[in-house]
Structure 1
Amino acid sequence: MTTAGYDGRRGLSPYTIQGVRYEPQVYEAYSTVGTASWYGHPFHGRATANGETYDQEAFTAAHPTLPLGTRVKVTNLANGRSVLLTINDRGPFVDDRLIDLSRMAARRLGFKDQGLTQVRVTALHSPL
């Protein structure tokens, strides 16, 4: 059985962006608070880290170290809204942000117009 969005060993390979080395890993339990941003156009239609085509209207997200294919619950701490997302891309790589969400996810969480918000990210299921 294949898990959608799972990228096997390639999804756990270390990589370097802007001189910073990232080492994706499997976490026993992952729940942390940090800043979320969102990305849409011009990334819409481009390949994600696991090879899927990025759809800004899908419930997906980019995270620097969670395994690709991991399902996460993201909660906006400002209003209590939550969404379930699949990690299918790498990032964000700016300003100590924790996670980069699709435009649809940002809309559902109620922060699309602000661009950034504080969230709790909890890993629910990893394909590994």
Structure 2
Amino acid sequence: MFGLKIDCCADMRNTYIRFLASFFIAGLLITGACKSTKNTPVTKSKMTEVQGKASFYANRLDGKKTANGEIYNAKKMTAAHPTLPFGTQVEVTNLSNGKTVRVRINDRGPFRKGRIIDLSRAAAEKLDMIKSGVTQVEIRYR
């Protein structure tokens, strides 16, 4: 009787091993039948668009450190955003005149309720928003 139990377990073990092997081989066949991703074109990630108010940095901040450690330069095309990763390229469009600029996020802010981005002075000049100080914009990023 003891020998029968060993044979029974051995038979079950062999059946289990055959099942796993066939499952593994079926997986390999299915994987091989799938189209290779090497030549599959990469689809562009969805562009995110957000509308809100933009402001620009005060001149007194020129030369001060930004949140990512670089020195703020009012003549560069940079901006502050509360959550986007540093280095993110953002397209900003002034909704009142249609002018658009591309800026790089290098700081945190704005810290005023209702504002979605703080722009460098150079970016604000290109958007023609220096007189108003704050304007309605759309920002686009990936």
Distance in 2 between residues matched to 1:30 and 1:90, nearest whole Å? 19
How far did 1:122 drift? Answer: 0.4
- Superposed structure 1 runs of 4+ greater than 4 Å apart: none
Superposition pairs for residues 107-122 of structure 1, below 5 Å? 107-122=125-140
The one-letter amino acid of 1:72's match is V
- 2:75 equivalent to 1:57: yes
Higher strand fraction (1 or 2): 1
The one-letter amino acid of 1:105's match is A
Superposition pairs for residues 21-100 of structure 1, below 5 Å? 29-100=47-118
Question: Normalized against structure 1, the TM-score is what?
Answer: 0.73
Distance in 2 between residues matched to 1:110 and 1:58, nearest whole Å? 16
Question: Normalized against structure 2, the TM-score is what?
Answer: 0.66
Q: Secondary structure of the residue that 2:60 maps to in structure 1? A: coil
Distance in 2 between residues matched to 1:84 and 1:30, nearest whole Å? 14
Distance in 1 between residues matched to 2:59 and 2:66, nearest whole Å? 13
Aligned-pair identity in percent equals 50
1:20 aligns with: none
Q: Secondary structure of the residue that 2:71 maps to in structure 1? A: coil
Higher helix fraction (1 or 2): 2
How far did 1:40 drift? Answer: 3.2
How far did 1:54 drift? Answer: 0.1
2:14 aligns with: none
How far did 1:28 drift? Answer: 6.0
The one-letter amino acid of 2:66's match is T
Q: Which has the larger radius of gyration?
A: 2
2:30 aligns with: none
